[in-house]
Amino acid sequence: MSGWQRAFVLHSRPFSETSLLIDFFTEGEGKIRLLAKGARRNRSPLRGCLQPFTPLLIRWGGKGEIKTLINAEPISLSLPLSGSVLYSGLYLNELVTRVIEFGTPYSALFFDYLSCLQLLAASERTPEAALRQFELALLSYLGYGVDFLHCAGSGEPVTDTMTYRYREEKGFIGSLVIDQLSFTGLQLKALATREFPDSDTLKAAKRFTRIALKPYLGGKPLKSRELFRQFVLPAANK
């Protein structure tokens, strides 16, 4: 049996008429999959708390490939994500579910995840900066080592107004070509510090993280993006 660990629900699905199979993101064990027996019953004490964005303490046990959830208690109320920010939270959960493997500890990333959710819940403006910061943190923990501050090959420091083109597994190389793989030195410095002072650096960060995350996500589209396009964008354009 495990001790208590802090955790969040990433995804759940019915396992039987009364049970759920749940993917959790835990502080000490990373992503794990647990069977929550009886959690679908109306009178189950687990029914109300096993929701995304609710900070939990959980315990589990068992000897099989899929362990059994023994107990779960909310640490606090669910983080209040609503409107377009809710879709940002769903994207965050889908990203963690799709990218990190089961059973590998990501304790520092867990707190980056928590911080991102808190920023989303408190945000009265665009959630873009919080999402880009988390994506860059995730890439870093995955071992995606990119030097944003030096030109690949020469090692020269990047210059704000120069243009650099990204080459996979190599880094950024000075170039006169302007396309989707091109970034200014100023944009690269923003990526290095994970601080985006204006819309230009924020858009560049989104462009870069999509390029960098693509190999990890494969060709399968993200459901959260599809839902955002289906429900949020049409409403915003009315």
Tokens representing 26 are 């835990």
Tokens representing 126 are 């665009």
For the chain, list the domains and their CATH numbers: 5-74 (2.40.50.140), 83-232 (1.20.1440.120)
Bridge partners, residue 171, by sequence: 167
| Max CA separation in the chain (angstroms) | 65
Please write down the HEC assignment for all residues of the chain: CCCCEEEEEEEEEECCCCCEEEEEEECCCEEEEEEECCCCCCCCCCCCCCCECCCEEEEEECCCCCEEEEEEEECCCCCCCCCHHHHHHHHHHHHHHHHCCECCCCHHHHHHHHHHHHHHHHCCCCCHHHHHHHHHHHHHHCCCCCCCCECCCCCCECCCCCEEEEECCCEEEECCCCCCCEEEHHHHHHHHHCCCCCHHHHHHHHHHHHHHHHHHHCCCCCHHHHHHHHHHHHHHCC
Nearest-angstrom CA–CA distance, 206 and 135: 9
Nearest-angstrom CA–CA distance, 71 and 53: 17
Encode pLDDT of 67-98 as tens digits: 999 999 999 888 989 888 889 999 999 999 99
pLDDT at 77: 86
Residue with the larger pLDDT of the pair 232 and 68: 68
Encode pLDDT of 108-134 as tens digits: 999 999 999 999 998 756 689 999 999
Confidence grade of residue 196 (pLDDT, cut at 50, 70, 90): very high
Through-space distance between the first and last CA atoms of the chain, rounded to whole angstroms: 53
Half-sphere exposure at residue 109, Cβ-oriented, CA atoms within 13 angstroms:
25
Confidence grade of residue 228 (pLDDT, cut at 50, 70, 90): low
Confidence grade of residue 143 (pLDDT, cut at 50, 70, 90): confident
pLDDT at 92: 95
pLDDT at 234: 57
Tokens representing 156 are 């020269």
This prediction has a pTM of: 0.90
